[in-house]
Chain A
Amino acid sequence: MEFPEEFKYTEEHEWVQVEGDLVIVGITDFAQDALGDVVFVELPEVGAEVTAGKAFGVVESVKAVSDVYAPVSGTVEEINEELPDAPEVINTSPYGDGWMIKIRVSDPAELEGLMDAAEYQAHVAEEH
């Protein structure tokens, strides 16, 4: 299971790549593995407002429906248009082609509350 060093993480198993005041968000390797085969993805529209800790989208596996939570508040700048037609990419490339949305961060201080890779790895070990 991978926990890339350069990302930040949430307790709800999203990863966050920070590029200035823009962040890229997806679900972690642990999350995709726990879900199983992803067969459906629902994303917000570009321009939508998202709130830290609130669901912005849905990922469904064959068996389960799972909300995906915004790690920070802001405006959706871009969504991964490929995902609805190829949701399985979340399984094969959770940290790469399986990215979900880009958020223009409204309050950069919220980034401080996220976990680093080591903290997230410990969180997963504890939960598992």
Chain B
Amino acid sequence: MTDNTMKQTPLNAVHKALGARMVPFGGWEMPVQYAGVIEEHLAVRERAGLFDVSHMGEVEASGPEALALVQKLTTNDASKLVDGQIQYSALCYPDGGVVDDVTLYRSSATHFLFCVNASNTDKDFAWMQQVHGESGIKGAALTNRSAEFAQLALQGPKAAEILARLTAVPLASLRYYHFSQGEVAGVPTLISRTGYTGEDGFELYIPAAAAVGMWTRLLEAGQADGLLPIGLGARDTLRLEKGYALYGHELSSTISPLEAGLGWIVKLEKGDFVGRDALLKQKAAGIPRRLVGLAMVERGIPREGYPVYAGEKQVGTVTSGTMSPSLKNGIALALVESSSAVLDKELLIGIRDRRLRAKIVKPPFVKR
């Protein structure tokens, strides 16, 4: 199940001591569940959950021309960011395929931090360096700081109340997709009001050496509120109920952000960026496929790779699917031909030897 070639976060031994089931994930040995996926999922929806997301990568862009480099690398318009603000964005290849989806933090006009997907960190950094080299931008530097940071996500309706017990940083004024620097449990922390669950919550960037202490203090602070440690299993069902894309499933080098429904982070008018020409062409020619939400009408669980049919004809494929713990119904994201991507339309999902009815719905599947 696990071997010593996998990377470990600073919390590896803590997860094992908590009885977590460990699995390989993007080259890392990570906890997939502690108490059970459904119990953990509902804890985050109803109370709060704590996630070890130290496997995520962090890349810094700094220097007087940092913004110019960031603009070249990303699809969203980073010039709109102010200090302390965060933006969801994407890195694209020249053909419009996605290198990765990222969150971008602006500390100052000369300091930006990308948070990137764990399994993509090395690929992203190499790609960013390549684009940087070809851009001719001299006044900017890229640094892979992934090893320095541990990252914990505290998510759920009780998250703010729990975190407030360990910090003097005013949380009420910290808005969604904004961050603040300050001490949490005595540790210098970048407190980010973001997450991957659709609930209120925070992502805490801390020195790797402080991870075990911070994890322990947070679990203690939230014990009375029913705070639970949460594994990757529930992380996936939580994000899927909200319709959030996961790289390698809804996004990849062969899926454009326009197809994935991320047109809102593609600012074609902002000026040149890698992938812009291809995305302009795709938009002009008509986007061939669309990512849709599917809710099962008949009983069954859609899974990644299952075919999607309109009548007899296959029109797409499920990119992620699960039983929704909140809805107790099968839900999926699927990439389908644009002509079939019509709200409320019924499609069929091939599940083993049967074709079961599912309806196109607009994510999130679970509203707040």
Q: Which of B31-39, B99-107, B114-122, B246-254 contacts A (4 or more CB under 8 A)?
A: B31-39
The interface residues of chain A lying within 8 Å CB-to-CB of B237 are 62
A34-89, CB < 8 A from B:
36-37, 39-40, 42, 58, 60-63, 65, 84
Contacting A at CB under 8 A, from B112-161, are none
| Size bracket, chain B contacts | 10 to 19
Known A-B contacts A62-B322, A62-B323, A63-B32; A40 and B300 likewise in contact (beta carbons under 8 Å):
yes
Q: Which residue of chain B has its CB nearest to the CB of A84?
A: B299
> Does B182 count as interface, using CB distance less than 8 angstroms?
no
In angstroms, Cα B39 to Cα A39, docked, is 13
| Chain A residues with CB under 8 A of B322 | 62-63
Secondary structure at chain A's binding surface: helix, strand, loop or mixed? strand
Contacts of B21 in A (CB 8 A): 36
Chain B interface helix/strand/loop/mixed: mixed
| Distance between Cα atoms of A99 and B299 in the complex (Å) | 21
Give the size category of A's interface with B.
10 to 19
Q: B283 CB to closest chain A CB, in angstroms?
A: 36
Q: In the complex, are the beta carbons of B323 and A60 less than 8 A apart?
A: yes
Contact, CB under 8 Å: A62 / B37: yes
B359 at the interface (CB under 8 A from A): no
Residues A65 and B303 in contact, CB atoms below 8 Å apart: yes
Q: Which of B233, B299, B301, B352 contacts A36 (CB 8 A)?
A: B233
Q: State the Cβ distance, A113 to closest chain B Cβ, in Å.
A: 28
Residues of B321-356 whose CB lies within 8 A of A:
322-323, 325, 352
When C-beta atoms are compared, the residue in chain B nearest to A87 turns out to be: B323
Nearest CB to that of A65 among chain B residues?
A: B303
Are B299 and A37 in contact, CB atoms less than 8 angstroms apart? no
B301 contact set on A, CB distance < 8 A: 39-40, 60, 65
The 7 closest A-B pairs by CB, nearest first: A39-B323, A62-B37, A37-B38, A40-B301, A37-B36, A60-B301, A37-B37
Q: What 18 new A-B contacts, CB under 8 Å, besides A62-B323, A62-B325?
A: A36-B21, A36-B36, A36-B233, A37-B39, A39-B301, A39-B323, A40-B299, A40-B300, A40-B301, A40-B323, A58-B352, A62-B38, A62-B237, A63-B32, A63-B233, A63-B322, A65-B303, A84-B299
